[in-house]
Structure 1
Amino acid sequence: MMLLIPVIAVCLFGLTMSYKVEPLPDSYAGLGEGPHWDVARQSLYYVDLEAGSLLRYDYAQNKVYKTKIEGETLAGFVLPVEGRPQEFAVGCGRRVVIVNWDGVSPSAKVVRTLFEVQPLMEKNRLNDAKVDPRGRFFGGTMRYIGDEFEFRHGELYRWEAGGQVSVIKGDVGISNGLAWDEKAKKFYYIDTTDYEVKSYDYDFETGVASNPKVIFNLRKNSPKDHLLPDGLTIDTEGNLYVATFNGATIYKVNPNTGKILLEIKFPTKQITSAAFGGPNLDILYVTTAAKFDQPAPAGTTYKVTGLNATGYPGVNLKV
């Protein structure tokens, strides 16, 4: 059993704060991804991507439920559907499908396909996706077979109920973290193969992103030392939380200055994504991976408390 990890951190301006990193019970996922906090069910949903599995952490029970999607080998993300408590949009290969799951049963079924992208790109798959504050789908693809850093065949997409899927950005290596800030009218996006976080001006009425700008750069002196930005979330003050796949760290970043405000450390290297949750939305839930024979506790899902920050709940997809 892993004990909690108390950390004393020095923040900007010399202020000190402490936070705790604790594992969720029985929360292992070989490639944990896509954490989504559901307020109505007080549950954290996430995926074990290469197992085709969905997981739900029940806050009140302090228990994780897991299901396998029948007939599927991949599950890139899980997004609850608005007004349909047992339906979820899941990225299976290059399809966004609707899966029926009661949150408890060990198996779940695909009931229909919402849309498909890049049907002829057999070496690609959908990766991270989220729903913007107005209920629109945003998500993208990546090279799944071969070198995704060499073949930038991915794309970023937008879809909304009653419409067609549209390409927002091409020339993508690994489509990854997404976040929105309504106060600042910004959209934030990570293509891992760019080693950076970009901001866009965002029109929340039309769903149009424009004027990309690099606001955080994780390049190091040599390519082998580059940190790989993965998932992304945001707090209510507009600060970003950037997961690093090979860095054992989540960076809290001020997007206006690009300055690191806090480094949140973990006992495993492959930090994949994060989302705020809990009854007060002040717990940072963090997924990790155990790729390439990483030793335990790789693949554990964590909660971080004591950050003195609150975030936003996940938004349901309108279909």
Structure 2
Amino acid sequence: MNLKLMSKIMSYKVEPLPNSVADLGEAPHWDIATQNLYYVDIVNGKLLRYDFNENKVYHCKIENVSVVGFVVPVEGEPNKFVVGAERDISIVEWDGVSETCEVVKVLAQVEQGDEIYDGNRFNDGKCDPRGRLYAGTMRYFGDHFEFRRGKFYKYNGGSMEVIKDNIGISNGLAWNEDTNKMYYIDTADFNVKEYDYDFTLGELKNPRVVIDLKSYEGRDKLLPDGMTIDAKGYLYIATFNGHSILQVNPKTGKIETEIKLPVKQITSAAFGGPNLDILYVTTANIFGQTQPAGTTYKITGLGVKGTPMTKFKLN
């Protein structure tokens, strides 16, 4: 390895989840109450559920939806989920077992009425620890680095408030309540940004680049994708073209550990399991990749624990 790392010696185990392949897996969400991992297959408009107790994955095609960017359970509404369905923020009802599910309500729409946004779709989305939904868009096809036509939004009582524009590929999100920080990835920037975050108002300001992955020695333009955070505040950054999850200390910007996986396109990660000490990782098999690319993996033995993920508060 020719990266300038401060590596920790770790003994971890990487195992595939059964029947977990997605063409473009993304946006894993661990539901503590039910011990389920939810995630999406973006390009096939599917929701997936991994049942920890059964060690089984269930698949659901959302009727009349071609692409879905993220999924988050709705607080107090069993079998209901907020999803980024094309350019809609919608509520989907799914019993977790049936092979089809449906949109029961559209909460908000974005980027309507202007043909320059016709090729856009929602990508990653997540709720902050107060249950506020943040999500962003990207072009479905084309050069995301030259034509930056995506936007980053916060759901605000029936509409989507624009937080940032000129976005290439809106991606990873994480929050640290201990330090009042929010972390955000626009893949087209090749970096991870940190913001001062007001948890009472849901406002972010004062961006700072935590780590720039464009020119690490020995690597050419690593693409940061999804992201999660552990209980000590370390970030876990999926590299779409790098076969790995990078554990990063946001205070120093140093890569502490590189967690290697057997496939190239690593899309996101979330901590789960009864003790929040299993790292679940989604992957993709697009652009000429073949299986096991697209498999969802569990990583044990890291010796760290994550932070609980928050459901969407509709009201």
TM range (shorter): over 0.9
Match of 1:46 among 39, 42, 61: 39
Aligned residue in 1 for 2:126:
130
Aligned residue in 2 for 1:311:
306
Aligned residue in 2 for 1:5:
none
- The alignment's TM-score, normalised by the length of structure 2, stands at 0.95
1:196 aligns with 2:165: no
Aligned residue in 1 for 2:241:
246
Query: One-letter code of the match for 1:182?
Result: E
Contact 2:69 2:83 (8 Å CA) reproduced? yes
Q: Deviations over 1:161-216 (max 9, x none)?
A: x3532111111100000000000100000000000000000000000000000011
Provide the rounded CA distance (Å) in 1 between the counterparts of 2:38 and 2:308. 12
Match of 1:29 among 18, 22, 26: 22
| Shift in Å, 1:221 | 7.0
Q: Percent identity?
A: 59
- SS of the aligned residue for 2:309 comes to coil
Match of 1:301 among 296, 299, 302: 296
Aligned residue in 1 for 2:146:
150
| Shift in Å, 1:16 | 2.3
Query: One-letter code of the match for 2:58?
Result: Y
| Range with greater deviation from structure 2 (277-286 or 304-313) | 304-313
| Shift in Å, 1:17 | 2.1
| Shift in Å, 1:85 | 0.7
Provide the rounded CA distance (Å) in 1 between the counterparts of 2:49 and 2:308. 15
Aligned residue in 2 for 1:7:
none
Aligned residue in 2 for 1:115:
108
- SS of the aligned residue for 1:50 comes to helix
Q: Deviations over 1:91-117 (max 9, x none)?
A: 111101100000011000110101011
Aligned residue in 2 for 1:185:
180
Provide the rounded CA distance (Å) in 2 between the counterparts of 1:291 and 1:168. 30
Contact 1:96 1:113 (8 Å CA) reproduced? yes
Contact 1:281 1:312 (8 Å CA) reproduced? yes
- SS of the aligned residue for 2:305 comes to coil
Match of 1:56 among 17, 24, 49: 49
Structure 2 unaligned segments of length 5 or more: list them. Answer: none
Q: Deviations over 1:34-72 (max 9, x none)?
A: 000001110000000000000000000000000000111
Query: One-letter code of the match for 1:246?
Result: N
Provide the rounded CA distance (Å) in 2 between the counterparts of 1:260 and 1:234. 14
Provide the rounded CA distance (Å) in 2 between the counterparts of 1:195 and 1:64. 32
Match of 2:83 among 86, 90, 99: 90
Contact 2:107 2:159 (8 Å CA) reproduced? no
TM-aligned CA distance change 1:105 to 1:237, over 3 Å: same
Contact 1:196 1:218 (8 Å CA) reproduced? yes
Contact 1:24 1:303 (8 Å CA) reproduced? yes
Provide the rounded CA distance (Å) in 2 between the counterparts of 1:253 and 1:154. 26
Aligned residue in 2 for 1:71:
64
1:231 aligns with 2:226: yes
Aligned residue in 1 for 2:167:
172
Contact 1:230 1:273 (8 Å CA) reproduced? yes
Provide the rounded CA distance (Å) in 2 between the counterparts of 1:64 and 1:296. 17
1:101 aligns with 2:104: no
Contact 1:36 1:313 (8 Å CA) reproduced? no
Contact 2:8 2:257 (8 Å CA) reproduced? no
| Range with greater deviation from structure 2 (30-39 or 115-124) | 115-124
Ranges of 4+ aligned residues in structure 1 off by more than 4 Å: none
| Shift in Å, 1:144 | 1.1
Provide the rounded CA distance (Å) in 1 between the counterparts of 2:309 and 2:72. 8
Q: Deviations over 1:202-246 (max 9, x none)?
A: 000000000000011101279x92110000000000000000000
- The alignment's TM-score, normalised by the length of structure 1, stands at 0.94
- SS of the aligned residue for 2:43 comes to helix
Provide the rounded CA distance (Å) in 2 between the counterparts of 1:174 and 1:96. 18
Report the count of equivalent residues. 306
- SS of the aligned residue for 2:69 comes to coil
Provide the rounded CA distance (Å) in 2 between the counterparts of 1:219 and 1:311. 27
Provide the rounded CA distance (Å) in 2 between the counterparts of 1:54 and 1:116. 20
Query: One-letter code of the match for 1:270?
Result: Q
